[in-house]
Amino acid sequence: MLAPLYVDAAGELHMVFTKRRDDLKRHPGEISFPGGRRDPEDADLTATALREAHEEIGLPPEAVEIVGALPPTPTFVTNYAVYPFVGLIEPGFAWELADDEVAYVLEFPLEAVRAAHGMRRLVRRGVPFRTDTYELGDHLIWGATARMVADLLARLPAGG
């Protein structure tokens, strides 16, 4: 999984997410970073993150500067381990969406994401749980993506 970040002209850091299509079998309608499963031809998990970002939102691997990795994040409902990588990109990218997977791209200022944090009780597949959430307008980031966001925000200074 790739957590793309960019700095706008005013020097403000932004986070890039995808809104998954509502008709997908896995994680329908959820907000996530671009990513997916490792293919046999991927040299490593960084290559997987870059390939998936290219496939899902048209972000060429050469347009990403990998600046770090976050700890593997488990998904409780589907029992996956997600390996997030953090990459810097240029602002103003013209996204090319994989129409069969991505509904649209969301770009949020990092400080708006930080300010949107809360805890909420959700129920998925009949299982209640309490999770970090980030509510930005009509968009709710929760679950594994919210845990990745929390990990990333903990490593970035406020106001940065």
CB-CB contact of 59 with 89 (8 Å): yes
Average the pLDDT over each of 3-17, 53-67, 99-113, 146-160 and give the range with the smallest value: 146-160
> Around 140, how many Cα atoms within 13 Å sit in the side-chain half-sphere?
11
In angstroms, the CA 128 to CA 140 distance is 17
Average the pLDDT over each of 55-64, 108-117, 118-127 and give the range with the smallest value: 118-127
At 48, the amino acid letter reads T
Query: Mean pLDDT, to the nearest integer, of 137-146?
Result: 93
Residues 6+ apart with CB under 8 A from 34: 1, 2, 4, 16, 18, 49, 52, 53, 56, 57, 59, 102
pLDDT single digits (tens) 62-96: 999 999 999 999 876 667 789 999 999 999 999 99
What pLDDT sits at residue 5?
98
Closest by CA position to 137, among listed 13, 20, 12, 19: 19
pLDDT for residue 9 is more than 80: yes
Closest by CA position to 16, among listed 53, 50, 51, 46: 53
CA angle 117, 121, 122 (to 5 degrees): 105
pLDDT single digits (tens) 41-70: 999 999 999 999 999 999 999 999 999 999
CB-CB contact of 108 with 6 (8 Å): no
Residue 46 DSSP one-character state: H
What pLDDT sits at residue 77?
65
- What does the DSSP assignment read for 97-146? --TTTEEEEEEEEHHHHHHTEEEEEEEETTEEEEEEEEEETTEEEEHHHH
CATH topology of domain 2-110: Nucleoside Triphosphate Pyrophosphohydrolase (3.90.79)
Average the pLDDT over each of 2-6, 44-48, 156-160 and give the range with the smallest value: 156-160
Q: Report percent pLDDT > 70 for the chain.
A: 97
**What are the residue ranges spanned by the domains of the chain?**
2-110
